[in-house]
Amino acid sequence: MLEIKGLHVSVDGKEILKGLDLKLGTGEVHAIMGPNGSGKSTLSYVIAGRDGYKVTAGDILFKGNSILDLLPEERAAEGIFLAFQYPVEIPGVANTTFLRESVNAVRRYRGEDELDAMQFIRVLRKKVAELGVSDDLLKRAVNVGFSGGEKKRNEILQMSVLEPALAVLDETDSGLDIDALKIVSDGVNRLRDPQRTTLVITHYQRLLDYIVPDYVHVLANGRIQRTGGKELALELEKNGYAAFTGEAA
Amino acid sequence: MKVSADTFGQDNDLGDDAYKYGFVSDVESELAPKGLSEDTVRFISAKKNEPAWMLDWRLTAYDHWLTMDEPDWQKPKFPPIDYQDAHYYSAPKSMKDGPKSLDEVDPELLAVYEKLGIPLKEQEMLAGVAVDAVFDSVSVATTFRAKLMEAGVIFCPISEAIQDYPDLVRKYLGTVVPYTDNRHATLNSAVFTDGSFVYIPKGVRCPMELSTYFRINEANTGQFERTLIIADDDSYVSYLEGCTAPQRDENQLHAAVVELVLHDNAEIKYSTVQNWYPGDKNGVGGIYNFVTKRAVCRGKNSKVSWTQVETGSAITWKYPSCVLLGEGSVGEFYSIAITNNMQMADTGTKMIHIGKNTTSKIISKGIAAGRSDQTYRGLVRMSPKATGARNYTQCDSLLIGDICGAHTIPYIECKNKSAVVEHEATTSKISEEQLFYLRQRGIPEETAVALIVNGFCRDVLQQLPMEFAVEAQKLVGISLEGSVG
């Protein structure tokens, strides 16, 4: 699904990723763990194609093709979804309007017919019921005045409506209480599917109790330092990242 | 003066695709000789077959105009206008014999409006919207007049009202915007050619939306329309105007005057979607939109609401205002001003509180992109008698890119201790974060900008009649094309 080869990325002239290799198979759930400043968010942004994240060497292949020349909206339409650590507020734009715009933009890109208002509402109602999101959330302006939990739930709602081939969750657990964490995790698990790949980026092992990964990678100093099974997360929880950053624990 | 067909069409290749109303229609016109003089005023008055009182009023205005200086306090500066280098009257030749009904209107003219998306055949129109179509200096058609007349509503070109309802016109014309008001309004008083006249009698709720569609077609002309709306006691009307013009590399002057008069408990909702040709990317061409609009709430508990979406014109200079005379009268001003490329806008409102317990609300949304520059300029005046008066003002500016400008200049004069004036203002930018978020959801950059801007303008767009709100939303997106990336 996703293959990253020898990726070097600079932000404002400073190299953040320094030869990162990563391979995610179809249907797998991977977790990336790492200390602050290790390049976790940079990795998610560079996959999504954010401006200012300059690839100086290496490549990112999605479904076998390089995506480095694709715009963010093209990558999204190809099936890459990023759940934001800090979802952005769009004042005055109703959540439903935004979601419909998003779904139809992706459908246009794929050469499919757009959904009219009624068709879209039917799709949305179904997803909303599945995720247990309140209707009220749909009418409000995108993320404006949402609590931390509501923002994250909104990300998961968008993900379930767009049904991406690759979902990247960037620190989705940050700012969530335990109940919200369960709801969000349930949403992610519901989308687990042999055709879909998930990349969970997190600081803490906690989230991985709910979204159980097939593989865990440790990212430090701009590279993957170690790869293992889910037990690696527990080891990190116990011993910290010191062994990978070269600092004393 | 005849204009041959080869004058037309030469400006079609200016290369700005975004402005889809930039076409010139090959319509043979009758023009006044170039230049402005007493003879020009007499020419126009004669063309309209006006009574002596009307000509006298025009000539008085013209004499006064000669004594006035060009206003220069506004922020947009521009080279002096050569008032002698324009035609002050231009009418399609086919209108010479004065078609009596829609069936007699030149099909060429109907086709022009068809192309603009305004079908003038009643059976094809939006149900519930009557249209007065003004082409250069004349009204070419007014629809649904008979139906409106059944309700007692008069909706006709002002040139006809001068003939058919001289008492009403004489009673109200110039009472809201006197011919001495400002140089552009004075010029309009001298040379105005057409526009709409509306009278809603006592106790009548106008059964349809009224609208006027202004089109400038001829080169080297100005358009000077005059609109007068009178809402008698306990009446209601919603009125909408739209405007477009061909793409040309000369600047054309549009100096209109709109007067609204409201009696007891009357309500007028006046909406404008202004989309005159804005000029090209480098600021060549475009309309100078210098407009004076004012409402007087004479009656108690009357209410006037101005809603404007200003996306066109090279320069917009416009302050739709409310004089709140009647006790408990209400003035509202909802505005969206969008400037892109080299456009300039200096726009806002004046709320003059005179009566007791009068209230006003101002919601202004300014969006500046490209190298454009815009100013919100608003006056709130609480006069000594305006006991218990209140005003709330909110001015928000949104900047796209870093070479445009937005300015807010509120003037507040409060001479009554019990009056309350509130002013809030914000300035923000479309952030890279917001754009990236929307693009990550598959929404292309320009659509994302349009979505963010429409959200920013939502409070104002909601005020538009539903039939026009959708069009206005699209226009917001189109006006900002090319503003990012």
Instruction: Give whichever of B54-58, B425-429, B446-450 has the largest mean pLDDT.
Output: B54-58
CB atoms under 10 Å from CB of B157, counted, come to 24
Give CA–CA dist A176/A101, Å, rounded: 28
Geometric angle at alpha carbon A171, from A169 and A172, rounded to 5°: 65
Nearest CA in chain A to B444: A73
Distance of CA A174 to the CA centre of its chain: 13
Q: Answer yes or no: do B451 and A91 touch at CB < 8 A.
A: no
Give CA–CA dist B383/A246, Å, rounded: 74
Burial of B178 (0-12, 13-18, 19+ CB in 10 A): middle
Write out chain A residues lying below 8 Å of B442, CB-based.
73, 76-77, 102-103, 105-106, 109, 162
Q: Answer yes or no: do B433 and A93 touch at CB < 8 A.
A: no
Which of these, B88, B79, B48, lies nearest to B216 by C-alpha position? B88
- Which of A47, A80, A93 to mutate to test binding with chain B, by most B CBs within 10 Å of its CB? A93
Instruction: Catalogue the E-assigned strands of B266-399.
Output: 267-274, 286-297, 303-310, 315-318, 321-324, 330-339, 344-353, 359-368, 373-382, 390-399
- At residue B3 the predicted structure's pLDDT band, cuts being 50, 70 and 90, is very low
Contact call for residues B136 and B215 (beta carbons, < 8 A): yes
The confidence score (pLDDT) of residue A216 equals 93
The residue-averaged pLDDT of B364-391 equals 95
pLDDT digits (tens, 9 = 90+) for B156-198: 999 999 999 999 999 999 999 999 999 999 999 999 988 899 9
DSSP state of B32: P
The confidence score (pLDDT) of residue B12 equals 35
- At residue B393 the predicted structure's pLDDT band, cuts being 50, 70 and 90, is very high
Nearest CA in chain B to A141: B455
Contact call for residues B412 and B451 (beta carbons, < 8 A): no
The confidence score (pLDDT) of residue B90 equals 85
Instruction: Give whichever of A33-37, B18-22, B337-341 has the largest mean pLDDT.
Output: B337-341
Residues whose CB is less than 8 angstroms from the CB of residue B453 and which lie 6 or more positions away in sequence, other chains included: B338, B367, B398, B400, B430, B476, B477, B480
Give chain A's residues under pLDDT 70: 246-249
Write out chain B residues lying below 8 Å of A90, CB-based.
434, 437-438, 451-452, 455
Which of these, B196, B205, B192, B203, lies nearest to B143 by C-alpha position? B196
Instruction: Tell me which residue has tokens 């309700």.
Output: B151
The residue-averaged pLDDT of B25-39 equals 84
Alpha helices by DSSP H, A29-94: 40-48, 72-78
A50, A87, A102: residue with CB nearest B443: A102
Instruction: Tell me which residue has tokens 């609208």.
Output: B211
- At residue B278 the predicted structure's pLDDT band, cuts being 50, 70 and 90, is confident
- Which of B433, B437, B451, B458 to mutate to test binding with chain A, by most A CBs within 10 Å of its CB? B437
Write out chain A residues lying below 8 Å of B334, CB-based.
none
This complex has an ipTM of 0.95
Q: Answer yes or no: do B442 and A91 touch at CB < 8 A.
A: no
At B472 the three-state DSSP class reads helix
- Which of B367, B397, B439 to mutate to test binding with chain A, by most A CBs within 10 Å of its CB? B439
Task: Indicate if the alpha-carbon torsion angle A81, A83, A89, A91 is positive or negative.
Answer: positive
Q: Which of residues 295-334 of B touch A (CB under 8 A)?
A: none
- C-alpha dist (Å) from residue B16 to B8, B21, B158, B282, B286: 18, 11, 35, 11, 12
- C-alpha dist (Å) from residue B74 to A187, B315, B348, B376, B390: 56, 11, 12, 11, 27
Q: Any CB–CB contact under 8 A between A11 and chain B?
A: no
DSSP B1-25: -B--GGGSSTTTTS--TT-TT----
Q: How many residue pairs bridge chain A and chain B with CB atoms within 8 Å of each other?
A: 78
* Domain ranges across chain B: 112-430
What is the distance in angstroms between the Cα of A110 and the nearest Cα belonging to chain B? 11
pLDDT digits (tens, 9 = 90+) for B114-148: 777 776 766 555 556 778 887 777 777 778 888 89
The tokens for A191 are 């989308």
The helix or strand, by DSSP H or E, that contains position A4, with its residue range, turns out to be: strand A2-11
CB atoms under 10 Å from CB of B303, counted, come to 24
Q: Which domains does chain A have, with CATH numbers?
A: 2-248 (3.40.50.300)
Contact call for residues B233 and B262 (beta carbons, < 8 A): no
Write out chain B residues lying below 8 Å of A46, CB-based.
none
The confidence score (pLDDT) of residue B25 equals 79
Write out chain B residues lying below 8 Å of A91, CB-based.
455-456
Write out chain A residues lying below 8 Å of B443, CB-based.
73, 101-102, 105
- At residue B256 the predicted structure's pLDDT band, cuts being 50, 70 and 90, is very high
The tokens for A204 are 């803490």
Give CA–CA dist B44/B451, Å, rounded: 46
Q: Answer yes or no: do B440 and A51 touch at CB < 8 A.
A: no
Nearest CA in chain B to A76: B442
At B437 the three-state DSSP class reads helix
Geometric angle at alpha carbon B16, from B445 and B6, rounded to 5°: 165
Write out chain A residues lying below 8 Å of B444, CB-based.
71, 73, 105
Does residue B48 carry a pLDDT above 50?
yes
Q: Answer yes or no: do A106 and B442 touch at CB < 8 A.
A: yes
Does residue B13 carry a pLDDT above 50?
no
Give CA–CA dist B352/B391, Å, rounded: 10
Which of these, B213, B93, B87, B237, lies nearest to B153 by C-alpha position? B237
The confidence score (pLDDT) of residue B8 equals 31
Does residue B14 carry a pLDDT above 70?
no
Which of these, A152, A202, A206, lies nearest to A178 by C-alpha position? A206
Contact call for residues B328 and B321 (beta carbons, < 8 A): no
Q: Answer yes or no: do A48 and B444 touch at CB < 8 A.
A: no
Give the range among A5-19, B71-85, B321-335 with minimum mean pLDDT: B71-85
Alpha helices by DSSP H, B100-157: 107-115, 145-150
The confidence score (pLDDT) of residue B126 equals 58
Nearest CA in chain A to B457: A92
- At residue B485 the predicted structure's pLDDT band, cuts being 50, 70 and 90, is low
Which of these, B329, B266, B345, lies nearest to B78 by C-alpha position? B345
Strands B321-324 and B286-297, bridge-based pairing: parallel
